[in-house]
Amino acid sequence: MSNKTLPFTQEQIVKICENFPTPFHLYDEKGIVSNARKFNSAFSWNEGFREYFAVKATPTPAILKILAEEGFGMDCSSEAELILSERAGVTGEGIMFTSNATPIKEYRRAVDQGAIINLDDISHIQYLEDGMGLSGDSLPELLCFRFNPGPERTGNVIIGDPKEAKYGLTRKQLIDAYRIAKEKGVKRFGLHTMVASNELDESFFVETARMLFSIVVEISKELDIEFDFVNFGGGIGIPYKPEENPVSYETISSGVKELYDSMIKPAGLDPLRIFLECGRVITGPYGYLISKVLHKKEIYKNYVGLDACMANLMRPGMYGAYHHISVLGKENSPADHVYDVTGSLCENNDKFAIDRDLPETNIGDLVVIHDSGAHGHSMGFNYNGKLRSAELLLKSNEQIVEIRRAETYDDLFRTVEGY
């Protein structure tokens, strides 16, 4: 069972709402920091271990800075994310650039920042070399490739089947890619994959380690090259539902360590650095979307209408994802009413919950939508002219800081003619 308690009181939220109108996302610094430390400590047996936070999950500078202070690197997949990482003070190999269908301009910026480049295709070696050549530069000294295991692995619901996925190189291409890169003067190598999303089964990640370790053993021998690191990707899940259990970092780590000791060490490949690039599990549980009940209606079903909508959190509408909902002040009341909890978009999938058991909910109640800390605000959009909300941080010292203000109509219309 996961713990769906809140790190703040109803009184605190009511007070915050006096200064900041709902809806807004609220992040819990204490929770983020203690989780980051647990994560790092679980893998501390591996010298050079590093978690590269997937910036796309929560691209908010104040959050990135908290994580950078805990020693995290940044996993970027676009130029905007490279800029954010730079502003958060993360430089050089503290950045991993894992992109696809990448414009050369973005690769060049990543190289200029000293980021580790993770190529998505064998043809990108030439693409990158040509692009670098425009200014007389050559390939970076360290290069990583993204492996797509295709039929070797089955994926899961959100990420889909690897053989249907657009990412990465096939097994056969992989060996050619390292050979070509070596011939072109690349000195150090990394291997990456990403085959899970929101996966709660620890053994899935241990199997990913087995797969990558065996490739490293095979390719280092065949090509006489040295691997600097393996990156198992992100995708560690979180217990969105109260009946689900959080993933044990220790279980993943000890499974990986066993394989490291039995596969990497005997092959003489120790030290090999282990990287992860999780987003969701790092910040997801420590963000909350706070919203107010504006309306109730009773037609063929019973509805509760909020001042937040799918533009603030699209996962339920987009994937039918479960997000737990608490009605503030009624956490211990019996959940003896059934509602669809909706937003105001002109889209019928703009629902945070369908047929959800909740305590009797009234107009004016404050509701908390849990686990919005990753892939929440960041997936926001402006359909129906909805403004993107503020993000607030509950600091470890209990202070509230606005880390992103809410959008205004001036922001929304800034790019159009005739406003």
Residues in contact with ligand PLP by CB under 6 A are: 54, 56-57, 75, 77, 98, 194, 197-198, 233-236, 277-280, 374
Provide the minimum distance between the beta carbon of 284 and ligand PLP in the complex, in angstroms, as a whole number: 7
What span, in angstroms and rounded, lies between the C-alpha atoms of 349 and 322? 13
Provide the minimum distance between the beta carbon of 43 and ligand PLP in the complex, in angstroms, as a whole number: 15
Provide the minimum distance between the beta carbon of 129 and ligand PLP in the complex, in angstroms, as a whole number: 23
C-alpha 383: how far from its chain's center? 23
Structure tokens at 96: 């991993």
Q: Which is closer to ligand PLP, CB of 371 or CB of 391?
A: 371
Q: Which is closer to ligand PLP, CB of 56 or CB of 377?
A: 56
Provide the minimum distance between the beta carbon of 67 and ligand PLP in the complex, in angstroms, as a whole number: 13
Q: Which is closer to ligand PLP, CB of 57 or CB of 128?
A: 57
What span, in angstroms and rounded, lies between the C-alpha atoms of 280 and 56? 10
Q: Which is closer to ligand PLP, CB of 291 or CB of 378?
A: 378
Torsion-angle region of 168 (φ positive above 0: left; ψ -120 to 50: alpha; else: beta): left
What span, in angstroms and rounded, lies between the C-alpha atoms of 328 and 344? 21
Structure tokens at 360: 């009797």
Q: Which is closer to ligand PLP, CB of 200 or CB of 412?
A: 200
Which residue type sits at 128?
L
C-alpha 340: how far from its chain's center? 28
Exposed (0-12), middle (13-18) or buried (19+): which is 397, by Cβ within 10 Å? exposed
CA neighbours within 13 Å on the CB side: how many for 188? 11
CA neighbours within 13 Å on the CB side: how many for 366? 20
Q: Which is closer to ligand PLP, CB of 278 or CB of 358?
A: 278
Provide the minimum distance between the beta carbon of 79 and ligand PLP in the complex, in angstroms, as a whole number: 15
Q: Which is closer to ligand PLP, CB of 102 or CB of 291?
A: 102
Provide the minimum distance between the beta carbon of 333 and ligand PLP in the complex, in angstroms, as a whole number: 33
CA neighbours within 13 Å on the CB side: how many for 231? 34
Provide the minimum distance between the beta carbon of 373 and ligand PLP in the complex, in angstroms, as a whole number: 11
